[in-house]
Amino acid sequence: MTPTRDLAGLNLSPTARARLEAFEALARRWTGKINLVAPSTVPDLWTRHILDSAQLWPLAPPEAQTWADLGSGGGFPGIVVAILAAEAGTPKVTLIESDQRKCAFLRTAARELGVPVTVLDQRAESAPPQATSVVSARALAPLATLLPLVARHLAPGGTALLPKGRDHAAEIEAARAKGWRFAVEALPSATDPEARLLRLTDLAHG
């Protein structure tokens, strides 16, 4: 295995790796039609999107039974998580995405890859609260804007996994200034030395 095809140290079965590679190919084909990811990132799609998504998987509590991904877009991290969840048997994955074309892609990907997911074609602020063990969101909104959506769908005692860029510390400060309380771990990213994977627990407001 070459370093560029590594998956953050995950010990994957041949089936899971084959599904991820099939998803990469599918995402490349569809991106030309509906712009799933930024065109500039397509040449490095494996690292910039699949590896970047897969590194969230080991950060989830092992006992997690449900996972909601907000603003799933092109399936990063939602479909990647669903592939890894199918291998493990849990959690059940729900993808929330308001763009109808991207929802069509998500459903096609899940069907072709043989992974069970629920796709809700709604905005995160209007979708029925999911009360999931884990909520993720990647490149959706600044933390202060994102946390009301996370809180809407996160079960009490749940974990939020939120990749953030170089301004992660400022976003944490801004969210706390808006009255949000949480415990946070800012974990290093395998794909960007300036980014962090925020693992939030004990989320509350006021």
* Predicted local confidence at residue 36, as pLDDT: 86
61 vs 134: CA distance, rounded Å? 8
pLDDT cut 90: percent of the chain above it:
81
Tokens matching residue 168 = 């992660």
Please write the tens of the pLDDT for every residue from 20-58: 999 999 999 998 888 888 777 888 888 889 999 999 999
| 76 marked ligand binding residue | yes
Please write the tens of the pLDDT for every residue from 71-128: 999 999 999 999 999 989 999 999 999 999 999 999 999 999 999 999 999 999 999 9
Say yes or no to pLDDT of 5 above 60: no
| 125 marked ligand binding residue | yes
Domains of the chain and any CATH numbers? 3-205 (3.40.50.150)
State pTM to two decimals. 0.93
| 27 marked ligand binding residue | no
161 vs 149: CA distance, rounded Å? 13
Among residues 51, 111, 115, 103, the alpha carbon closest in space to that of 75 is found at 103
Question: In whole numbers, what is the pLDDT of the chain averaged over residues?
Answer: 92
| 124 marked ligand binding residue | yes
| 29 marked ligand binding residue | no
Q: Tell me the β-bridge partners of 186.
A: 198
